[in-house]
A and B are shown apart, each in its own frame.
Chain A
Amino acid sequence: MKVILKKGFNVFYSLPGFLWLFVFFIIPTLIIVVFSFLTPGLYGGAEMPFTLSSYARIFSSSGFWNILWRTIYISAISTILCLGLALPVSYFIATSKHKNFLLNLVIIPFWTNFLLRIFGWMVILGSNGLINSLLFNLGIIENPLNLLYKPWSVVIVIIYMYLPYMIFPIYSSIEKFNFNLLEAAMDLGATRSKAFWKVLIPAIKGGIAAGILLVFIPALGSYAIPQLVGGTEGAMLGNLIARELMVSRNWPSSSAISVVFLIITTFGLFVYLRINNRKVKNLKYVLRETYDIEGKENE
């Protein structure tokens, strides 16, 4: 039986999705964009007339640039370290006989509340915390080290929180990888490490790109982590937005920061899509592969 859809009906079927996106994504985003061009109200909120003063205010403040720069480098370093950790771990899991067990070990921390896990790190890094008391008892230090409220304490906790988001896409692309290719490369004279770089890494670059995106963008938007373990030295853009909104009660200014932030993340997304677009171009060959049109020699 053939189902023929009238053209008008296609719109009808996509309506619920469109409504959902419109109400919960487009409208709030537009409100933020509009607010960023308004004048701050006396007790919060935003009032007419339209002005660019919020943008002028944040762009002229050195604090904003410092925090923006810090947000980017903390996120970038965390992402790079996550990648460095996730590659060997996912390779190990994908080639292990106990895949399911090891994957569960990666998932288990998610069963605990996000905030509780951050508090856990405060206990570990605190001045009377696990690391300090261990070092003290071993006689290595006399006075506790300041491990909390530094940019790199934020880096450590971001890595801990987002590592699984890097592991899973890389793991799934390694799992699909045809390990015969490594053998083929070695058969043709490549050392083990050459075979990894020339054959494995190009084959799993989709997974790596997805992992980078899944870690970098949430890391940019971190709020709770720098709030709890970052202090002033480790504050990020999310904290600045919250401070503008709750403490300074300057809604337009916090909206303007959000808009800048939105542009940065969208840029990241575009880079990712650029990388993936190449695959879309090959779609017809992917289809050919899937339906296995073989044996037709064009000689």
Chain B
Amino acid sequence: MTIELKKYSVQLNKVTKIFDENFVAVDEVTLDIEQGEFFSLLGPSGCGKTTILRMIAGFEDPTEGIIYLNEKNILGIPPNKREVNTVFQNYALFPNMTVYENIAFSLRLKKFSEREIQNKVMEMLNLTKLNGHENKKTNQLSGGQKQRVAIARALINKPTVLLLDEPLAALDAKLRQHMLVELDNIHEEVGITFIYVTHDQSEAMSISDHLAVMNNGNVIQMGTPVEVYESPVNPFVANFIGETNFFSGIVKDIKTIKNKDKYITLQTKRFGEVICFMDRAVEIGSKIQVSLRPEKIKISTKKPNVPANTLINFLQGKVEEAIYLGNQTKFTVDINGQYMKTFKQHIRYLLDEKMIEWKDDVYIWWFADDSYLLDETGGIKK
């Protein structure tokens, strides 16, 4: 077995940015971004993600803290000397230049020979599938093409890190999906670190190796998309990444099953006793909040056959809302006054099978392992 030493291409060490002496945009953020990975900064607008990007690029200086690029402190180095290139939100293509000249811009500044410039630009045009568009002016391009020019222009320098500031925000949904796949291919081909800023959780989930969820200038949670989705640390993350149901109760009992896994019995106001997997330390008698993803809940009009003492919770309720979405139906079930959201996939469509409808009495159930306990404090780790 070999021990692989992880190399970091970008590290932030307790970086704080304060604007106008009182607005804290970024609050003691520490990030370690590995070489060659696709890292996303995800959060609602105004959470400080773009400020972090601008600090890495060199357009802003942190008020406190240090930023390392390839394990070297880069503070004080101007943007034009950093081995970092940016794909700007609205592309920021130079309108007075052709596609070719836009892509060649940085090479011209470095006084490359015309031959080298041509080779490299052609290589970039191939990479971004822009062949044949090189002599067009930027205002003759469609949104997706502009996006590609911006990527080609930023990549031609072979930077250590490519920063992408909401690059797909201006594209329509279909094209966004398409460009996302293309970005992933480009990332694979060039192999450099990509740092991607977005407020769109589905973009970040589908493309990232790691992502950091941010809110109010803090990194709330960092991990792989699966980690963040399956075990969010607090209600903010649970709600921001996908949909979820919350319910709370008081820990009544903790039991160990098969000498291994611990489960808690939660006394809730509306659901009675609920069994939950204990994924973090709690004390008997404390009040906690639980998150349960809609897709983990099964729904049926027939009473499920649940043997006693199994790790399945089941409840009875009434359908309050049924939204047909084609591939699935989204239900909101009223259980003693609390709403629970769930999906039913239309795996098979049988005409003679009765569909669950509005005001039907239904049963919902889920495995105790599928819910997770949330950190009520907000989960901000400093």
A194 interface contact, C-beta 8 A: yes
Is there contact, CB below 8 Å, between A294 and B143? yes
Task: State A288–B145 Cα separation when bound (angstroms).
Answer: 15
Q: What mask results when residues 168 to 205 of chain B are scored 1 for a CB within 8 Å of chain A, else 0?
A: 00111011000000000000000000000000000000
Q: Which of A180, A294, A298, A299 contacts B92 (CB 8 A)?
A: A180
Given contacts A297-B145, A297-B175, contact A203 B96 (CB under 8 A): yes
Q: Which residue on B lies nearest to A202, using beta carbons? A: B96
Contacts of B94 in A (CB 8 A): 181, 184-185, 198-199, 202
Asked if A183 CB lies within 8 Å of chain B CBs, one says yes
List the A side residues contacting B153 at CB < 8 Å: 188
Q: How far is the CA of A202 from the CA of B96 in the complex (A)?
A: 7
Main secondary structure of the interface of A (DSSP, over half): helix
Among B80, B144, B154, B171, max chain A CB count under 10 A is at B80
From the candidates A183, A189, A286, name the one contacting B106 in the complex (CB within 8 A): A189
Q: When the two chains form their complex, are residues B79 and A297 in contact, meaning their CB atoms are under 8 A apart?
A: no
With a CB–CB cut-off of 8 A, which chain B residues contact A188? 80, 85, 105-106, 109, 153-154, 157
Identify 4 new A-B residue pairs, CB closer than 8 A, beyond the known A183-B57, A297-B142.
A178-B92, A187-B154, A202-B94, A288-B139
Q: Does B240 contact A (CB under 8 A)?
A: no
Q: Would you give the shortest CB distance from A181 to chain B, in whole angstroms?
A: 5
B140 close to A (CB within 8 Å): yes
Q: B96, A187: Cβ atoms under 8 Å? A: no
CB distance from B23 to the nearest CB of A (A): 16
A295: B residues at CB distance < 8 A: 142-144, 171-172, 174-175
Chain B residues whose C-beta falls within 8 Å of the C-beta of A189 in the assembled complex: 80, 106, 109-110, 157
Q: Which residue of A lies closest to B175 (CB)?
A: A295
- With an 8 Å Cβ cutoff, the count of chain B residues facing the other chain is 36
Chain A min CB distance to B64 (Å):
23
Query: Which residue from B92, B96, B109, B171 sits with its C-beta under 8 Å from A190?
Result: B109
B residues at A contact (CB < 8 Å): 57, 59, 78-80, 84-86, 88-90, 92-96, 105-106, 109-110, 129, 137, 139-140, 142-145, 153-154, 157, 170-172, 174-175
Name the distance in Å between A195's Cβ and chain B's nearest Cβ: 8
Contact yes or no, B109 A194, CB < 8 A: yes
Inter-chain contact A187/B57, CB cutoff 8 Å:
yes
Flag if B139 contacts A187 (CB, 8 Å).
no
Verify if A266 is at the interface (C-beta below 8 Å from B): no
Which residues of chain A are within 8 angstroms of B79 by Cβ–Cβ distance?
A: 183, 186-187
Q: Is the CB of B142 within 8 A of A282?
A: no
In the complex, residue of chain A having the shortest beta-carbon distance to the beta carbon of B178? A297
The residues of B that contact A203 with a CB separation of less than 8 Å are: 95-96
Q: Which of A186, A296, A299 contacts B78 (CB 8 A)?
A: A186
Question: Hey, which chain A residues are within 8 Å of B129, CB to CB?
Answer: 299
Contact indicator A285/B106 (Cβ below 8 Å): no
Return the chain B residue nearest A183 by Cβ. B59
In the complex, A191 has a CB within 8 A of chain B = yes
Q: Which residues of B contact A190 (CB under 8 A)?
A: 80, 105-106, 109
Q: Contact at A187–B145, with CB atoms within 8 Å?
A: no
Query: Is B139 within 8 A of A289, CB to CB?
Result: yes
Asked if A185 and B142 make an inter-chain contact with CB atoms under 8 angstroms apart, the answer reads: no
Residues of A within 8 A of B95 (CB): 181, 203
- B145: chain A residues within 8 A (beta carbon): 297
3 closest cross-chain pairs (CB), A and B:
A294-B143, A188-B106, A202-B96
Contacts of B174 in A (CB 8 A): 295
Q: How far is the CB of B262 from chain A (nearest CB, A)?
A: 51
Interface centre among A180, A181, A184, A187 (most CB of B within 10 A): A187
Contact B139 A286 (CB under 8 A): yes
Known contacts: A184-B94, A185-B105. The answer to whether A294 contacts B80 by CB under 8 A is no
**CB <8 Å contact, A183 and B88:** yes
Chain B residue with Cβ nearest A293 = B142
Residue of A nearest to B163 (CB): A187
A270 to B196, CA, bound (A): 49
Residues on B with beta carbons closer than 8 Å to the beta carbon of A181: 92, 94-95
B182 to chain A, nearest CB (A): 11
Which of B96, B137, B175: most chain A CB closer than 10 A?
B96
Q: How far is the CB of B121 from chain A (nearest CB, A)?
A: 13
The docked-state distance in angstroms from the alpha carbon of A282 to that of B95 is 12
Sampled A-B contacts (28; CB under 8 Å): A178-B92, A180-B88, A180-B89, A183-B59, A183-B79, A184-B88, A186-B80, A187-B79, A187-B80, A187-B84, A187-B85, A188-B85, A188-B105, A188-B106, A188-B157, A190-B80, A191-B80, A199-B94, A202-B94, A282-B139, A289-B139, A293-B142, A294-B170, A294-B172, A295-B144, A296-B142, A297-B142, A297-B175
